[in-house]
Amino acid sequence: MLPEAIWRLKCSDRDSVVMSHRTIHLFRKGLRLHDNPTLLGALACSAALFPVYVLDRTFLEGAMGLGPLRWRFILQSLEDLDARLRALGSRLYVLRGSTAAVLNDLVTRWGVTQISYDTEVEPYYACMEREIQALAQERGLQTYTHVSHTLYDVKRIVKANGGSPPLTYKKFLQVLSVLGEPEEPVRDVSAEDFLRCSPPAEPLHEQTYRVPSPADLGLELDSEVLWPGGETHALQRLHKHFQSQGWVANFSKARTVPNSLLPSTTGLSPYLSLGCLSVRTFYHRLRSVCAQSKNHSLPPVSLQGQVLWREFFYTVASATPNFTKMQGNPICLQIDWYHDPEALEKWRTAQTGFPWIDAIMTQLRQEGWIHHLARHAVACFLTRGDLWISWEEGMKVFEELLLDADYSVNAGNWMWLSASAFFHKYTRIFCPVRFGRRTDPQGQYVRKYLPVLKNFPSQYIYEPWKAPEDVQLSAGCIIGKDYPRPMVCHTEASQRNLGLMRQVRTEQQNTAELTRDVADDPMEAGLKRELQEEEELLEGAEQHGTSKRFSGDADHKSRPWTPETLQLSGEVM
């Protein structure tokens, strides 16, 4: 990280006069004033600086697939950023339109000589950056960029690995051991910084450049705000968690609870995703706590390990063509997934007939967040576990609904959970009944998110189709009428899919080996007993015939779950 003095020197060398520029600082992610090296560097060589956010709705909803909850989170984050800038004597200028067109207009209107922005890894941001560079060349502008959203410049990691990304976590950590620890965060932006380069006031600023409301964008939102957007809330959450240094030091991802009514993890992922919280700040705070603790947990399941997983996916995504797709993706198994829009819609709208799966998908739609193990469960169910539908379809749903949706991490996790890349213990399949029951025997999570089932006795809450008719009547919910029957027989479907996956991996062994780590799967640490029991059940079913563990007889008789049924149009993903 370049200290301020060196930034000043760079600006001086380039322009002969320090603080000579009239600069637009373009916020995209990185919606914060702490550890913002790009903004700090731009302030150091500018006589006037305009903090700008371009609300390009076509781009945000097209390239990034934003849904209403994430829109609200972004707008709240912009309001918070504006308030924090105003406290320092500046403000945020929010404009609507395409980024290139808006910047071109502002260059003329404000007499701009420089544009600063964070360097990002996503292809759509890279395309935007090429447009900015073309505009700068055409208009004779300087540009100032810096890496801010990751711990390292991922290009350094790729270079240190011989020009290609490390494709296993173990190899990734080996490369980092050569590079050393990530650089420390830079200081916070201060009022003094803006005092030196505040832009002149314009008439009608408040209305022209204000942050729009959800209603201004035609968004209808009536759900409770559980995750308020913005740097202020991010730092408050960070401070709250670090008050319990023992919890931080001993955090183990696999020991957190997937169906807890309250998050058992940090809940910081939405803020890291949008850059309201600096990942370097988070990492070095963790490192400081762990340095003071003799018995802290270790990567990959520690909090530091989870941050490094994020960095791993960013690195691989930065240098892998078509990372968010199966076709044209050199590290992804090419699988003939079923094409079944009806089955996909049942999964997406929480109508699978499996209460734990449906409760998870309901929480996702209502709140924009679900526990990482809950994500594992619904992803496995959609792909290799039960429905054999492409991970790309699930990724798109998560992209729309998750507050912490992230290009690199979302795609990486979906390839992982579908066993298309990275994860190779493909015989381990989540049971959509037993895993939820094990962590929440009374079914409080299901009762909260599926109130139609709230009156079922605990023994039936995860398998309501097994309840006698009088129990269903007493609960006020008739299965098949008020709540759907299971859309698949889990044991039959997972057994069949296991055979299909085994065949794929045999035929594409070279691709499968690209991302194969010799170590056991760290993402599933602590879940071995659950997953191995499921594995043994499947192997037993293969040897002794089909199990009838989950029936849902009416649905199975009326619509047999076969490849022919699923491939309605003969298409593959």
Annotated binding site: 265-269, 306-313, 404-406
3-state secondary structure 483-510: ECCCCCCHHHHHHHHHHHHHHHHHHCHH
Q: CA-to-CA distance for 19 and 25, rounded, in angstroms?
A: 14
β partners of residue 116:
25, 144
> In a 3-state reduction of DSSP, which class is residue 420?
coil
Task: Locate 444 and state its tokens.
Answer: 């409080």
Contact indicator for 115, 23 with CB cutoff of 8 Å: yes
Binding residues for FAD, as ranges, are 265-269, 306-313, 404-406
Q: CA-to-CA distance for 205 and 82, rounded, in angstroms?
A: 13
Cα angle value 129/131/137 (rounded, 5°): 105
Cα 25 → chain centroid: 25
> In a 3-state reduction of DSSP, which class is residue 313?
helix
**Contacts by 119-122 with C-beta closer than 8 Å and gap 24+?**
119/145, 119/146, 119/147, 119/148, 119/153, 120/28, 120/29, 120/149, 121/149, 121/150, 121/154, 121/314, 121/317, 121/318, 121/407, 121/408, 122/63, 122/317, 122/407, 122/408
The CA-atom distances, in angstroms, between 415 and each of 147, 310, 379 are: 26, 14, 10
